[in-house]
Amino acid sequence: MSVAAWLPLMFLPRARWAATVVPVVSPFLLAVIYVVLVAATLPRSEGGFSSLAGVRALIDNPWALLAGSAHYLAFDLFIGGWEVRDAQRHLLVVPALVLTFHLGPGGLLLYLAIRSIAPDKGVAPKENAA
């Protein structure tokens, strides 16, 4: 599901559905999966979020690990959609999209760096000429 959502972002970024519907609907579905998995596993888990040891205990449960994966996939895809909508020229955002898909915050950091050092290259959004 995740790869199927990322492909339109990379190859069809100007298609309205690819830049708006895909990075909203897919994270929504992943969020539903996440909530269901958390509701089913968290109450019975020995882990928690108050310490690193607690988080480790959570991910020892394969269902909680799956929930964590859904969590990351949803947020990374949502950020990838924002990157595509924010960029004016798609080719400059592709490396950031690939990195966002694989390393989440690293891709966002790369996109923000490209956006800040190359605004005249079409990465930053156009300013309204009013």
Answering whether pTM is above 0.95, one says no
Nearest to 34 by CA among 4, 81, 78: 78
What pLDDT is attached to residue 18?
Answer: 86
Point out the residues of the chain with pLDDT beneath 50.
Answer: 129-130
Identity of residue 86: D
Using CB atoms within 10 A of its CB, is residue 83 exposed (0-12), middle (13-18) or buried (19+)? buried
DSSP assigned state of 18: I
The token pair at 6 is 């990322």
What pLDDT is attached to residue 127?
Answer: 53
**Phi/psi zone of residue 15: left (φ > 0), alpha (ψ -120 to 50 degrees), beta?**
beta
What pLDDT is attached to residue 122?
Answer: 52
What pLDDT is attached to residue 58?
Answer: 82
